[in-house]
């Protein structure tokens, strides 16, 4: 999804981060099937916490949206992130023998807590455009990663199921809608706000790399 306009500038600002994500052993392991299943299990559990907080951030962003159709779009995505992706994870819960009680009582890993806290604080404290730029990498990077991995495929059926979710045309359509909104917002924002949007986008792109790295290492609190 090569883009013109401000979204294209954002992609260029963090493209080196995206390249590092593609080269990370968590993702290369998804494609060739060599990823430790325990690392994938760790990722699934952490992602449940992340998705819930991501949905909260989207709901806050929807409340700040200056257009009615954008209010609808982000509230719809908030619901979708809880329904569609939680349904996918529930199928993994059966595979891994996870219980709802275990998920509710387990504290998030340090990176998960830091990333979601950044999203929520930005959504709450900053204007609509800045809040949108902070959640954009989660949309866009997952779509790009999904397409790359879908072209490769995975011999592991659990990994392939995940790849097919984010490599789908339906998911790409959702991402294109958000990118179009980002470009429209940027045209209405002043230079200082655009710089802040760029900073948020690069920061959360780095958090995306950190999230996969956290899962690969099965990160725990050091003390």
Catalytic annotation present for 90: no
Spatial contact of 128 and 64, defined as CB atoms under 8 Å apart: yes
Nearest-5° Cα angle at 93, 113 to 118: 15
Measure the CA–CA gap between 5 and 3, rounded to whole angstroms.
7
Measure the CA–CA gap between 111 and 47, rounded to whole angstroms.
11
Measure the CA–CA gap between 50 and 116, rounded to whole angstroms.
6
Catalytic annotation present for 208: yes
Active-site position among 138, 144, 172, 189: 138
Spatial contact of 48 and 112, defined as CB atoms under 8 Å apart: no
Here the tokens at position 87 are: 């349904």
Measure the CA–CA gap between 196 and 129, rounded to whole angstroms.
9
Active-site position among 46, 85, 130, 208: 208
Q: Is 9 exposed, middle or buried (0-12, 13-18, 19+ CB in 10 A)?
A: middle
Residue 63's nearest CA partner among 78, 48, 49 is 78
Spatial contact of 181 and 70, defined as CB atoms under 8 Å apart: yes
The residues assigned a catalytic role are: 138, 208
């Amino acid at each position: 999804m090569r883009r013109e306009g401000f979204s294209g500038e954002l992609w260029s600002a963090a493209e080196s981060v995206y390249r590092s994500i593609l080269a990370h052993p968590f993702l290369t392991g998804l494609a060739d099937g060599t990823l430790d299943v325990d690392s994938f299990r760790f990722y699934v559990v952490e992602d449940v916490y992340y998705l819930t907080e991501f949905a909260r951030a989207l709901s806050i962003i929807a409340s700040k949206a200056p257009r009615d159709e954008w209010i609808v779009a982000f509230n719809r995505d908030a619901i979708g992130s809880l329904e569609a992706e939680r349904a996918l994870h529930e199928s993994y819960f059966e595979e891994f023998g996870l219980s709802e009680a275990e998920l509710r009582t387990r504290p998030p890993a340090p990176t998960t807590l830091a990333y979601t806290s950044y999203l929520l604080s930005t959504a709450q404290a900053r204007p609509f455009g800045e809040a949108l730029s902070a959640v954009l990498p989660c949309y866009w990077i997952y779509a790009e990663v999904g397409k790359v991995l879908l072209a490769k495929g995975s011999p592991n059926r659990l990994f392939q199921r995940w790849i097919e979710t984010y490599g789908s045309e339906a998911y790409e359509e959702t991402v294109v809608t958000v990118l179009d909104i980002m470009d429209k917002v940027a045209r209405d924002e002043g230079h200082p706000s655009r710089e802040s949007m760029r900073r948020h986008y690069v920061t959360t792109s780095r958090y995306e790399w950190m999230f996969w790295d956290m899962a690969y290492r099965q990160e725990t609190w050091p003390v």
